[in-house]
Amino acid sequence: AQRVTQPEKLLSVFKGAPVELKCNYSYSGSPELFWYVQYSRQRLQLLLRHISRESIKGFTADLNKGETSFHLKKPFAQEEDSAMYYCALSGSGGYNKLIFGAGTRLAVHP
Amino acid sequence: SAVISQKPSRDICQRGTSLTIQCQVDSQVTMMFWYRQQPGQSLTLIATANQGSEATYESGFVIDKFPISRPNLTFSTLTVSNLSPEDSSIYLCSVVGGQGGLDEQFFGPGTRLTVL
């Protein structure tokens, strides 16, 4: 079954602390993995995708096919990082429907 | 990027009635999606709506309950029929767009539905 698991509903850290939002997936094939973010009173938007191998707002995510994980990391959290983060996957071979995880709320305290 | 608007932004409806949600995009797109986000839950795909063909529904969603129209490449509607309190959710439309060979899925602001 195709599934995305985000085990933490809430992650609370202090400013400057490292952050790791966990994401594990189940998919038969080669999926594309994404992280979406929703800031307060804003719409859902793409943060990064694994095929781009880029760092956005200091966040990075590495696809580990052996562990079927795509954890989101940032070495030093900022208060403006506080948001809801969703891990999602899409089937390979073009842009298909997205399967979302339950989401993790990141709260960065001063 | 694609700019998406949805109407209404929120509504409160009585049990047994229907609500039609409109999704307008500022550019022509082939693929449009409708998602549901129930309270405290993640986003779940309801259906894919492509212009010129019938919508494709995901498991657990049927056309009688969620009829969809896609009259052109910039517009779609989702109707939630015979409302019950369990239909209280945020409904979002999204489109695929992009440039440079990297497609991206853009989301509308959502429609918050409360069923009494």
pLDDT of residue A1: 76
Chain B: nearest CA to A44, how far in angstroms?
6
User: Which residue in B31, B103, B107 is closest to A44 by CB distance?
Assistant: B107
pLDDT of residue B98: 66
Q: Which residue of B has its CA nearest to A105?
A: B40
Average pLDDT over residues A19-36: 92
CB contact under 8 A, A43 and B107: yes
Residues of B with CB below 8 A from A101's CB?
42
Give tens-digit pLDDT for B34-78.
999 998 888 999 999 988 788 999 999 999 999 999 999 999 999
Give tens-digit pLDDT for A50-79.
877 788 899 999 899 899 999 999 999 999
Sheet holding B68-72, edge to edge: B4-7, B19-25, B75-80, B68-72
Rounded Cα–Cα distance for residues A37 and A83 (Å)? 7
